[in-house]
């Protein structure tokens, strides 16, 4: 069974149809990119998967279990085993790095939390920054902390919304590489939204190409962008 499966999702804001019958899945350990121009419905799909946007039509399954749709009461976001990284990283400014990461660890016994924080900080190569506050970090460092925070509760699924677009173009390639390594180590099924074909080519095992709220093509980067 797929780690994440979205089946026949449609979503309207007022009378504007943002997603029109999109279906996709992410297998265990896979990095999948949703690629397409601004406004094509990518973020809406990601928010529906996370449970941040109420499902209007279709079904969301995680590990074969329906979490929204099918006439059932939807599983709330915090019970979906999903880690989120947003474009602006959304770190809590009043908490230091350790506090930011520990925030999502309420299911862990208090005495085990510092160990888990240290573990994910090492994973993103930020062990020296536990006491630092977000404003004192560079964009790239904030991105690493946002990733560490998302991974700390060991989510089965990671959802990333344009995780590199707030970053300096010079740093982006290095950070992509580092992020991909961390994602693969974590083993989480990853769905990443991007408008940048290069980014999708680099990161993805598979790509879903979207246009106007629909999935218009899907396949491996090689299959989608085969050189003549």
What residues from 65 to 104 belong to the interface with ligand ADP (CB under 6 A)?
Answer: 87
Q: What does the alpha-carbon distance between residue 124 and residue 145 come to, in Å, rounded to a whole number?
A: 8
The closest of 15, 16, 35 to 24, measured between CA atoms, is 35
Please, is 115 exposed, middle or buried when counting C-beta atoms within 10 Å of its C-beta (0-12, 13-18, 19+)?
exposed
- Candidates 15, 38, 109, 227; binder of ligand ADP (CB under 6 A) is 38
- 5 lines the binding site for ligand ADP (CB under 6 A): no
x/- mask, ligand ADP, residues 187-226, rule CB under 6 A, reads ----------------------------------------
x/- mask, ligand ADP, residues 159-178, rule CB under 6 A, reads --xx----------------
- 41 lines the binding site for ligand ADP (CB under 6 A): yes
Q: Smaller CB distance to ligand ADP: residue 18 or 31?
A: 18
Q: What does the alpha-carbon distance between residue 147 and residue 149 come to, in Å, rounded to a whole number?
A: 5
- 42 lines the binding site for ligand ADP (CB under 6 A): yes
- Candidates 3, 4, 40, 121; binder of ligand ADP (CB under 6 A) is 40
- 39 lines the binding site for ligand ADP (CB under 6 A): yes
What tokens appear for 6 in the block? 């979205």
**Minimum distance from CB of 46 to ligand ADP (Å)?**
8
- 10 lines the binding site for ligand ADP (CB under 6 A): no
Q: Smaller CB distance to ligand ADP: residue 186 or 190?
A: 190
- 44 lines the binding site for ligand ADP (CB under 6 A): yes
Contacting range for ligand ADP; rule: CB under 6 A; set: 33-41, 76-84, 90-98, 132-140: 33-41
Chain contacts with ligand ADP (rule: CB under 6 A): 13, 16, 18, 36, 38-44, 87, 161-162
């Amino acid at each position: 069974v797929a780690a994440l499966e979205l089946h026949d999702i449609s979503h309207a804001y007022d009378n504007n149809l943002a997603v029109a019958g999109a279906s996709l899945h992410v297998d265990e350990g896979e990095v999948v990119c949703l690629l397409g121009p601004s406004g094509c419905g990518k973020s809406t799909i990601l928010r529906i998967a996370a449970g941040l946007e109420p499902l209007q039509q279709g079904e969301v399954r995680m590990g074969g279990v329906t979490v929204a749709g099918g006439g059932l009461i939807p599983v709330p976001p915090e019970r979906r085993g999903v880690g989120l990284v947003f474009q602006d990283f959304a770190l809590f400014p009043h908490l230091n790095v350790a506090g930011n990461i520990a925030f999502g660890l309420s299911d862990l016994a208090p005495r085990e939390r510092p160990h888990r924080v240290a573990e994910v900080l090492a994973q993103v190569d930020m062990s020296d920054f536990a006491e630092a506050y977000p404003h004192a970090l560079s964009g790239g460092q904030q991105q690493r902390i946002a990733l560490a925070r998302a991974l700390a509760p060991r989510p089965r699924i990671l959802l990333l919304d344009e995780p590199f677009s707030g970053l300096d173009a010079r740093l982006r390639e290095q950070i992509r590489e580092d992020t991909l390594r961390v994602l693969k180590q974590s083993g989480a099924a990853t769905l990443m939204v991007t408008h940048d074909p290069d980014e999708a080519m680099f990161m993805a095992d598979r790509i879903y190409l979207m246009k106007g709220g629909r999935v218009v093509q899907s396949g491996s980067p090689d299959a989608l962008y085969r050189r003549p």
